[in-house]
Structure 1
Amino acid sequence: MNLDEDTCEWLGLPSPLEMYQQHCLLLENEIHELNLLLSKARADIFGLVSMLDEARAKKDEFAGYLRQRGSEAAAMRKQISDLTSSAIVSKREADNLRLIVNELRSRPTTIV
Structure 2
Amino acid sequence: MDPSEIENTDDWLGCPTPLETCRHQLKIYENEFEELTLQLRQQRERIFKLVQMHAEAIRQRDEAMATLREKAAETAKIRRKMHDMRGSENAYKREADSLRGILAGLSPPSKTIY
TM-score (norm 2): 0.86
Question: Displacement of 1:74 after TM fit?
Answer: 0.2
Q: Which deviations, in whole Å up to 9, do the C-alpha atoms of 1:23-71 show, x marking residues without a partner?
A: 0000000000000000000000000000000000000000000000000
Structure 2: which amino acid aligns with 1:106? P
The root-mean-square deviation of aligned C-alpha atoms, in Å, is 1.4
Kindly, what percent of the aligned residue pairs are identical? 38
Question: Displacement of 1:106 after TM fit?
Answer: 2.7
Q: 1:93, 1:66 → 2: CA distance? A: 40
| 2:112 aligned partner | none
Which of 47, 62, 66 matches 2:68? Answer: 66
Structure 2: which amino acid aligns with 1:84? R
Q: Which has the higher contact order (CA 8 A, sep 6+)?
A: 1
- Runs of 4+ aligned residues of structure 1 deviating over 4 Å after TM superposition are none
Higher helix share: 1
| 1:34 aligned partner | 36
| 2:89 aligned partner | 87
Which of 57, 69, 73 matches 1:55? Answer: 57
Count the aligned residue pairs.
103
Q: 2:93, 2:108 → 1: CA distance? A: 22
Structure 1 stretches lacking a partner, 5+ long = 108-112
Structure 2: which amino acid aligns with 1:22? H
